[in-house]
Amino acid sequence: MSRQLFYGSQVTPPIIGRANVVLFLVNSEAGLSNVLVATAKSLLEEHPAVEIHFASFAPLAPQLERISSYIHTKDPSNPAQDVVFHQLPDLSWTRAIKLSGRTMSNMAHPPGLDGISQICKDIQFYVSPWSGEDHYVLYQRLIDIIDQVDPAIIVLDTVFRPGIDATRERNRLHASISPNTLIDNFVMEQPYGSMFWKYPLIPENIYLTLRFIYSVLSMSDIKKKQAFLKSKGLSDPINFYNLHRPDVPWFTQTLPGASRPLYKVPQNVSCLGPMSISLGEASGQDLNMVNWLARKPTILAAAMASALAHVLEQTDLQVLWKFRKDTTDPFDNVDRGVEYDDAFITPLQPFINSGRVKMTPWLSVDPTALLKTGHIAVSVHHGGAGCYHEAIEAGVPQLVLPQWFDLYNFAQLVQDIGVGVWGCPETSPDWTIKCLEGALLRVVKDKSGQEMKENARHLEHMAQNSPGPQFAASEIARLAAAGKSERT
């Protein structure tokens, strides 16, 4: 896959601002922002002359402070400046989804034919969940930040539509970084009509694909937003069809062997492998946690207590369960209180008492560093691109429990390349104790689990040789260096 970069000529050449100044326009959700934060960390480490600015929402600020602090602690002689944070109004992607009436519960859907209606209904909110009015508020604030910072190059989150619109309306030199793989962004560009038959995506056959395409073409809510934004002076807002441009560098986490190959990869797309964040070894972040992990192979899990109890009865494993007892939907900031008791823990209580189960509302160690300790037997996660690539980079088998849209693609992918299991495909997005127990045992006890572990380690070695965020940082620094030496 190509790693060559290309920035072609335009009718109107892009505006290049102050030399060695980079502005990231980013959502604050970890699954969307981590690849950009990882790139910023590499810029601080390896290109300290670059001045880094981030425009995002409040939840991202502590992560940026953390990487700045880590860089200076690791090397006090590093002259890099701290990341400059520009806080946006409280109109995040998560809040926008919540205001659209969507929750974790009503967004969940089964795969295939049973779920296609829900996918078609929700696709326009995945494209851009903001109302026209909120999009315009963010757009205006981002225009102000761009004019104030005057960067040589802007780095875009490919899901942050207000940032894309502001950057292109100002005709600024920019690059895009996506947490997703090639197939998530470029399947519609493949020759021979292969999107209809070659790739086991959801949608998964000609009928479903045609329904999906029709829903994309007819997005009524998006069209209303576009009309509103055009009335405010935007020339081409929320354009679904030109997200990728042949004259704009595009960086992706795609790793050959850990993703579905495409016939055609655009010339300016760089496939860099996993782009995750790790601020040092796990032992330096929480030694007590590492010592606990070292006692027995550990399942990094967020799953049903009864199934875990059954697995623990049949193995010598232990479980690290990231669990926060909270009925507040992640898309809703309102505290509705706890509406259930601790009875669900009962099957696990003996193992909690003996120290074989550790339940924690948050992880004191970066997930990547945790996985790289070598003590994790399987990573149980929802199927997000970030979780998937963190496990690939660490060579850890995976159990995926998807609930919607592209999460099903990663669940199918781990099975197809032999590095994990899709848990409960017959009942997704719900799970039963029996099928979850069986899925876990397949990974940690059966002969097939050993094969998964070997396949995962093979991909880990490949990931170690991939350029990752260091390559993205070097190319962004190179483009930033071409800016003007002072304001004009």
Q: What's the CA gap between 94 and 240, in Å, rounded? A: 20
Whether 179 and 31 have beta carbons less than 8 Å apart is answered as yes
Question: What is the sign of the dihedral through the CA atoms of 45, 48, 54 and 60?
Answer: positive
Same domain for 193 and 269: yes
Q: Residue 113, Cβ neighbours under 10 Å: how many?
A: 14
pLDDT at 339: 54
Comparing C-alpha atoms, which of 26, 229, 56 is closest to residue 133?
229
Please check whether residue 486 lies inside any domain of the structure: no
The pLDDT, as a whole number, for residue 336 is 46
User: Which residue, chain included where needed, has tokens 């399942």?
Assistant: 299
Identify the pLDDT of residue 430: 85
Residue 422 located in a structural domain: yes
Same structural domain, 472 and 447: no
Q: Which amino acid is at 245?
A: R
Q: Tell me how far the alpha carbon of residue 288 is from its chain's centroid.
A: 28
Identify whether residues 255 and 293 lie together within a single domain: no
* pLDDT at residue 331 in the model: 44
Residues 337, 343, 349: CA angle, nearest 5 degrees: 120
Least confident residue range of 9-23, 249-263, 387-401:
9-23
Q: In this structure, is residue 308 part of a structural domain?
A: yes
pLDDT of 200 > 60? The answer is no
Overall domain count for the chain = 2
**Do 314 and 459 lie in a common domain?**
yes
Task: Tell me how many helices (H) and strands (E) the chain has.
Answer: 20, 13
38/75 same-domain check? yes
Does residue 328 sit in the same domain as residue 417?
yes
Tell the burial category of 461 from Cβ atoms under 10 Å away from its Cβ (0-12, 13-18, 19+).
exposed
Q: What is the pLDDT of residue 419?
A: 97
Residues 431-456 have pLDDT tens digits of 888 899 999 999 998 889 999 999 99
**Is residue 249 a contact partner of residue 6, using CB atoms and an 8 Å limit?**
yes
- In a domain? residue 5: no
DSSP per-residue codes, 225-241:
HHHHHHHTT-SSTT-TT
Number of residues written out for the chain: 488
Mean pLDDT within 17-37: 96
pLDDT at 9: 44
41 lies in the same domain as 189: yes
What range does the domain containing 58 cover? 18-93+132-207+219-273+467-480
Helix or strand (DSSP H, E) at 357: strand 357-360
Going 10 to 12 to 13 to 15, the CA torsion angle's sign is negative
Phi, psi (degrees; rounded to nearest 5) at 306: -65, -40
For residue 450, being part of any structural domain is answered with: yes
Does residue 23 contact residue 151 with C-beta atoms inside 8 Å?
yes
Same structural domain, 354 and 425? yes
Condensed to tens digits (0 to 9), the pLDDT of residues 335-382 reads: 444 555 677 788 889 999 999 999 888 888 888 999 999 999 999 998
Q: Is residue 119 part of a domain?
A: no
Contact 398, 338 (CB under 8 A): no
| Residue at 44 is within a domain | yes
Residues 33 and 162 in one domain: yes
Residue 328's CATH number: 3.40.50.2000
Whether residue 124 lies inside any domain: the answer is: no
**Domain identity same for 141 and 167:** yes
Residues 245 and 319 grouped into a single domain: no
Residue 102 pLDDT level (bands cut at 50, 70, 90) = confident
| Residue 460 sits in the same domain as residue 471 | no
